């Protein structure tokens, strides 16, 4: 771990006190915290040492790293990456071959028990040769590197829940990080890929407070995954009025009506896309005219088709069983009138509710 504190490091880089406080404000907003906490964040950061971060990539498409790097300085992302010591990252590091592996081993040795391990990608269990780095299987590298980690951040739906490699028929026997490592705190930052500001917001939280953010029951930071896309969608008023696009080029689509009937999975997807948006707040899929595909939820590839409306029963269990019966506007509205806690319990607990039960919940609330 670098010997200088973050405050010293940023001052050495020429950052003024004013810019430092602005940096802290950006962190606060990145972590979805109140601006009132900025002085506390500043105080904590002044004294903290930049943590060593080891980033491992297993079975994935590199979309998570691509997402992370889609930023233009001076964004919060750029600043955060001045604030940590990224000691190993397959894609971003300059070193290669033996030198790269030596960097990982050195970082592990020097910072044992203190470094943050970031993992993207799933781990193949069916054959150690399916995915290797420097001749080391993903399974062995994960186990070896996790030993000295203070905490693990599973970035992307592949690392968090298995993702695309685990999709039926899961040819490599892919599993998420949490299936292998059970004795370390794990934060799941799901999304395929995850929103960059959410990745950096989580790192900022660990950096500032030295601990884990509040997590939901899927291990995701509640500040970013606490509400569904549907809850915060700007097209929601059209849903409430029963105004739906029926095709991607009809009048409803042109008027920006709700995409529920075109397969939008916003009602069963918990993520921050509708609020943080993408590309520095430019837009998000629904704003671009395409329904949410549910990429931050477990097994989203097997949900039943990206263009399959939730209103059509799919025969699937879990979330689709809950919302698959939410046919049409009237019942859909009843489901969404459900008490929030009950609704979340139903979604996250994969509880199967019958149509009658859903209607009853809607009427009672």
Applying CB under 6 A, the residues found at the interface with ligand FSX are 60-64, 120-121, 156-158, 163-164, 192-193
Are 243 and 329 spatial neighbours (Cβ–Cβ below 8 Å)?
no
Are 337 and 310 spatial neighbours (Cβ–Cβ below 8 Å)?
no
Distance, in Å, from the CA atom of 172 to the CA atom of 174, rounded to the nearest integer, reads: 5
- For residue 206, the minimal CB distance to ligand FSX (Å) is 19
- Residue (of 133, 143, 223) closest to 184 by Cα position: 143
Nearer to ligand FSX, 120 or 361 (CB): 120
- For residue 137, the minimal CB distance to ligand FSX (Å) is 18
Nearer to ligand FSX, 60 or 87 (CB): 60
- Residue (of 309, 308, 320, 355) closest to 335 by Cα position: 355
| Residue 170, beta-bridge partner list | none
Position of minimal CB gap to ligand FSX = 63
Nearer to ligand FSX, 190 or 329 (CB): 190
- For residue 56, the minimal CB distance to ligand FSX (Å) is 10
- For residue 172, the minimal CB distance to ligand FSX (Å) is 13
Nearer to ligand FSX, 139 or 338 (CB): 139
With residue 187 as reference, give the H or E element that holds it: strand 186-189
Parallel, antiparallel, or unpaired: how do β-strands 123-124 and 132-133 relate?
unpaired
Q: List, in sequence order, the alpha helices (H) in 115-162.
A: 138-146, 157-161
Nearer to ligand FSX, 104 or 235 (CB): 104
- Residue (of 279, 89, 317) closest to 193 by Cα position: 279
- For residue 148, the minimal CB distance to ligand FSX (Å) is 22
């Amino acid at each position: 771990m670098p010997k200088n504190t973050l405050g010293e490091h940023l001052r050495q880089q020429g950052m003024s006190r004013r810019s430092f406080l602005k940096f802290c404000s950006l962190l606060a907003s990145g972590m979805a915290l109140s601006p009132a906490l900025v002085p506390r964040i500043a105080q904590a950061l002044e004294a903290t040492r930049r943590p060593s971060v080891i980033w491992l990539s297993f079975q994935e498409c590199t979309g998570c790293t691509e997402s992370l790097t889609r930023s233009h300085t001076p964004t919060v992302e750029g600043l955060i990456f001045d604030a940590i010591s990224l000691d190993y990252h397959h894609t971003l590091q300059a070193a290669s071959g033996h030198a790269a592996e030596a960097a990982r081993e050195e970082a592990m040795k020097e910072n044992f028990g203190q470094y943050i391990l970031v993992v993207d990608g799933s781990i193949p269990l069916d054959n150690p040769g399916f995915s290797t780095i420097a001749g080391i299987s993903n399974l062995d590298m994960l186990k070896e590197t996790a030993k000295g980690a203070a905490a693990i951040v599973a970035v992307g739906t592949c690392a968090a829940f298995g993702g695309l490699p685990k999709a039926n028929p899961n040819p490599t026997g892919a599993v998420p990080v949490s299936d292998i490592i059970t004795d370390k705190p794990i934060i799941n930052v799901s999304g395929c890929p995850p929103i960059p500001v959410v990745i950096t917001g989580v790192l900022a939280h660990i950096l500032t407070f030295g601990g884990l953010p509040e997590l939901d029951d899927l291990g995701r930071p509640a500040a970013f995954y606490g509400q569904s896309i549907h809850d915060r969608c700007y097209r929601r008023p059209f849903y409430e009025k029963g105004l739906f696009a029926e095709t991607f080029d009809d009048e409803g689509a042109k008027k920006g009506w709700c995409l529920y009937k075109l397969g939008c999975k916003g009602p069963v997807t918990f993520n921050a896309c509708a609020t943080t948006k993408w590309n520095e707040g430019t837009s998000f899929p629904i704003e671009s005219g395409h329904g949410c595909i549910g990429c931050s939820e477990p097994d989203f590839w097997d949900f039943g088709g990206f263009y399959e409306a939730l209103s059509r029963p799919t025969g699937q269990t879990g979330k689709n069983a809950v919302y698959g019966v939410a046919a049409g506007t009237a019942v859909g509205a009843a489901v969404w009138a459900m008490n929030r806690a009950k609704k979340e319990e139903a979604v996250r607990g994969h509880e199967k509710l019958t149509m009658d039960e859903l209607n009853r919940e809607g009427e009672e609330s």
